[in-house]
Copies of this chain bind each other. A is one copy, B any other.
């Protein structure tokens, strides 16, 4: 899986909402009503990540979830990250 160039990454970020590129990864964060809602979204994302065999680096504090995606083997951001980012967006949007 080939590491994308910065130009490719910024172009692809245009089709996502609220993601940023920084420090060789793409990042987003979500705020939910409470812990239960936040963790429920994480469970749905976890199943999808396992299907894709590509996993987020993420942090949860009560109702907040911060997610970073990068492809460790490639040393940067690849198509795999954007595929998972799109799935995360679909999951979050479906829950609203």
Number of identical protomers = 2
Establish whether residues B59 and A59, one from each chain, have CB atoms under 8 Å apart when the complex forms.
Answer: yes
Residue contact A39 to B35, C-beta cutoff 8 Å = no
Q: Is A60 part of the binding interface, using a Cβ–Cβ cutoff of 8 Å? A: yes
Q: Are A59 and B58 in contact (CB under 8 A)?
A: yes
A60 touches B58 (CB 8 A): yes
> Are B59 and A35 neighbours in the complex by a CB distance under 8 Å?
no
Instruction: Identify the stretch in A6-14, A15-23, A49-57, A86-94 within 8 Å (CB) of chain B at 4 or more residues.
Output: A49-57
Q: How large, as a class, is the contact surface on chain A?
A: 10 to 19
**Residue A46 lies at the interface, judged by CB distance under 8 Å to chain B:** yes
Q: With A and B bound together, what is the CA distance between A64 and B50 in angstroms?
A: 15
Q: Is the CB of A55 within 8 A of B35?
A: yes
Chain B contacts for A39, CB-based, 8 A? 46, 50
A36 within 8 A of B: yes
